[in-house]
Amino acid sequence: MYLHQPSERHYTLRPPGGFQRASIFIFALFGAFVAGLQIGLFLIRGEPYCPNEGCRTVDDLTAISQNTFNFIGVLYFLFIALLSFRWAKNPLPNALLRLFLLSGLAAEGVLLGYQAFYAGEYCAYCLLILFLIVCMNIFAGLQQTLAGVVILGTILTLFSLLTWTPHPSGQMPLTLENGTFAVRTCNAPNRRAYLVFSKDCPHCHTVLDALEQCTSCEIHFNPIERIPPDFLPGLTPTLAYHPEINVSALRILGIDTVPVLVVENPDGFSFIMGDREILSFITTVCSSEAPAGLDFPDPLLGGNSCGFDRPCK
């Protein structure tokens, strides 16, 4: 009597086939090209290309610059292309290829969860990179795809279960200094004021034009969105400013329009809204002939203004 001994089966991850490796190679080269193009645009014009405002918002909330992310991305995609082009049929490079594809998917999953559950806005460029990495994992085979689904699903589930606060202390630091893009100051200013404005608001531009020359006030320019480094000629921009702070500070006060001039007084702050009232303040208080102790009424309304989230003519 012969007993049939069941043979042992060894399940191994087979290396991707020729078409799969070629597809991974093409997607990796395209990813390296896109990330490198962003670096080139940053070197030429001072900022990378942002398809939507979500890119700028996400960039403001990260500890390192977007250009650093792009440099890491170039190295990552080139390494994937190298593994898929020459060494993917060997056991060790094949394992490294799969490992780096999953690690890239995990990293993009964290960024996606960060955008969805914390920033509240989506970066179109980040979503493009996520799409490329997802496609490369799919081309690596069914087992790789299933592993990627588990990793991405786990990360997004954990993000959805966390309670997020805008700042480690539990509150966003609502200091207008942190939202200042640039400062125009002359000798011995008698007053400090923060102009909260939008680059697309024509009434804001009326005020900005009036502040092109020196006045007796120290003017801090606080935009509600990211603006180009050369937006205010003659001023040195601050790279680490946070426009969302300016929006939050006004909304706490129930203000959803710009321009707003926040004037620092010995006993607190005055909020002057609308282009006509702000121009009146500049002419009355910030002229070179104005005395240092001159008071100005604190109007809440006046002049023309633009809303945060609606078109303005």
Tokens of 98: 């799969």
Domain of 197?
176-307
Is 182 in the same domain as 288? yes
- pLDDT at position 150 is 95
pLDDT for res 286: 84
Contact yes or no for 217/210 (Cβ under 8 A): no
Alpha helices in 162-239 (DSSP H): 202-210
Model confidence, pTM: 0.55
pLDDT recorded at residue 227: 86
11 falls within a domain: no
Is 229 in the same domain as 280?
Answer: yes
Q: What pLDDT score was predicted for residue 267?
A: 83
Beta-ladder partners of 221: 182, 195
Using the 8-state DSSP alphabet, how is residue 253 labeled?
T
Residues 25, 80 within the same domain: yes
Cβ atoms of 35 and 132 within 8 Å: the answer is: no
Indicate the residue among 123, 138, 161 that finishes a domain: 161
Along the 313 residues of the chain, how does pLDDT read in single tens digits? 455 555 555 445 555 567 788 899 999 999 999 999 988 988 887 777 777 666 766 666 666 777 888 899 999 999 999 888 765 556 777 888 899 999 999 999 998 988 888 766 788 888 999 999 999 999 988 999 999 999 999 999 998 887 655 444 444 455 888 899 999 988 778 889 999 999 889 999 999 999 988 888 999 999 998 888 888 988 988 877 888 888 888 888 888 889 999 998 888 888 999 999 999 888 888 875 544 444 554 444 456 778 776 666 6
Asked if residue 125 and residue 57 are part of one domain, the reply reads: yes
- Whether 12 is covered by a domain: the verdict is no
290: left (phi over 0), alpha (psi -120 to 50) or beta: beta
Say if 10 falls within a structural domain.
no
Residues 26 and 114 both lie in one domain: yes
Answer whether residue 206 is part of any domain.
yes
Domain CATH number, residue 242: 3.40.30
**pLDDT score recorded for residue 54:** 65
Q: Residue 128 burial by CB count (10 A; 0-12/13-18/19+): exposed, middle or buried?
A: middle
Domain shared by 150 and 269, yes or no? no
DSSP character at residue 254: T
Question: What is the distance, to the nearest Å, from the Cα of residue 237 to the centroid of all Cα atoms in its chain?
Answer: 17
Residue 166 in domain: no
Task: Judge if 239 and 135 occupy the same domain.
Answer: no
Q: CATH number of the domain that 49 lies in?
A: 1.20.1440.130
On whether residue 130 sits in a domain, the answer given is yes
Please identify, among 110, 138, 161, the residue that sits at the C-terminal boundary of a domain.
Answer: 161
Instruction: Report how far residue 288's alpha carbon sits from residue 217's, in angstroms, rounded to the nearest whole number.
Output: 9
62 domain residue, yes or no? yes
The pLDDT value given to residue 136 = 95
Domain boundary among 161, 187, 222: 161
Cα 193 to Cα 29: distance, rounded to the nearest angstrom: 49
**Distance, CA of 230 to CA of 45 (rounded, Å):** 9
Q: Residue 269: its pLDDT value, please? A: 86
What pLDDT does residue 15 have? 54
Q: Which helix (H) or strand (E) holds 143?
A: helix 142-161
pLDDT of residue 193: 94
